[in-house]
Amino acid sequence: MGFRGLLALCGVTLAAGPAGAEPPTAAPVAADWLHRDGGTSRIIRAPGRLVIAPTLSLAAHEFPFGGIEFGRVQMCALRSVSEPLLVTFEGLGDVGEILEGPIQHVFTCEVRGWNGTVIERLFGGLFTRGESGHAVYSVPGLEYPGSHEWARGVVLLFVPDDIAHVPGIILYHAVPSMQERVAVALQRGKELVMPLNFDVVADGLGRVAMLGMVPDLEL
């Protein structure tokens, strides 16, 4: 006895659909949650471009916003290096209060390829122009231990390729240097990049950095 015969003995009948009709399928499940902020269904990679000294409104003008574009970048990160100040009691040294520490941030990135504009605009004291017309990074150049670096600070803007989903970053006074203990690798197995490090400090108006969607950033 088949399944339908068993159902007939129990007084149960199955309604047949039209001839040739497709079997019913489940209604599609709404997937709006896949696109909400914070969804983990999509890996967001954030390569982009850097601009020195933008001067035009980021909401009303187009890239490079009156500044100087100097290359495509990857592995960008803005991190705080400041630590809170702990106030301890005498005796056992228990923590009684935590005070906000000094504001200190570092921005790091990798410029893809060998970029002469980066050397010329960011490392003027180490820059010379070779016989080929290309930039040369010359150490020690005009730099020496204890020399002042404040004047090399620039307004720096990071513009992601995906401006609809990835925030941009503006640094109001970023002092550049090569990243510590990171090599410019000239080898087959690794992409040629210029690793950069920026010490981010406050400008004359007390501004340090702003992170948000590009049209929302303020110069």
pLDDT in tens, the chain (219 residues): 555 554 455 555 555 555 555 555 544 444 444 445 555 555 556 789 999 999 999 998 998 999 988 878 888 889 888 888 888 888 778 888 888 888 889 999 888 887 787 887 787 777 778 778 777 877 777 666 667 778 888 999 999 988 888 899 999 999 987 656 556 666 666 777 888 889 999 999 999 999 999 999 998
Instruction: Tell if the pTM clears 0.85, that is, is over it.
Output: no
Separation CA 27–CA 61 (nearest Å) = 45
64 CB neighbour count, 10 Å cutoff: 19
Output the pLDDT for position 164: 87
Q: Residues 151-190, buried b or exposed e (16+ Cβ, 10 A)?
A: ebbbbbbbbbeeeeebbbbbbbbbbbebbeeeeeeeeeee
Tokens (6 digits) for 79: 């991190």
Counting every residue written for the chain, the total comes to 219
Tokens of 147: 């020399």
What pLDDT score does 172 carry?
A: 96
Do 148 and 115 touch, CB atoms closer than 8 A?
no
